[in-house]
Amino acid sequence: MTQSLRAENYLLRQANSLLSAENLAFKERMLLAQSRVEALLEQFPAPEAQATPDDAEDLAAADDGAESTTPHDSEATQ
């Protein structure tokens, strides 16, 4: 029984070591990706002003109007 538990403990320690190394590699990749995204975001110009809820409603209304002018296929035209 003791030998079996020691063998299992050894395997668990190996797996833990591998997972820790993998976790470290993932953290490094995440930091690299974060720095790349931040560099990309810095290339965008700063927004001039925050959009207000009224602006969002105006945009939505304009989009709805654009959609209604597109022709739709009906059963009569098919």
N residues, the chain: 78
Distance, in Å, from the CA atom of 68 to the CA atom of 74, rounded to the nearest integer, reads: 14
Model confidence over 49-75: pLDDT tens digits?
Answer: 765 666 666 666 666 655 555 555 555
Could you report how far apart the first and last alpha carbons of the chain are, in Å?
Answer: 78
Distance, in Å, from the CA atom of 67 to the CA atom of 5, rounded to the nearest integer, reads: 69
Which residue from 5, 23, 25 is spatially nearest to 15, judged by alpha carbons?
23
Residue 71 identity = P
pTM confidence score: 0.50
Say which residue the tokens 């290339």 belong to: 43
Model confidence over 5-55: pLDDT tens digits?
Answer: 999 999 999 999 999 999 999 999 999 999 999 999 999 998 887 656 666
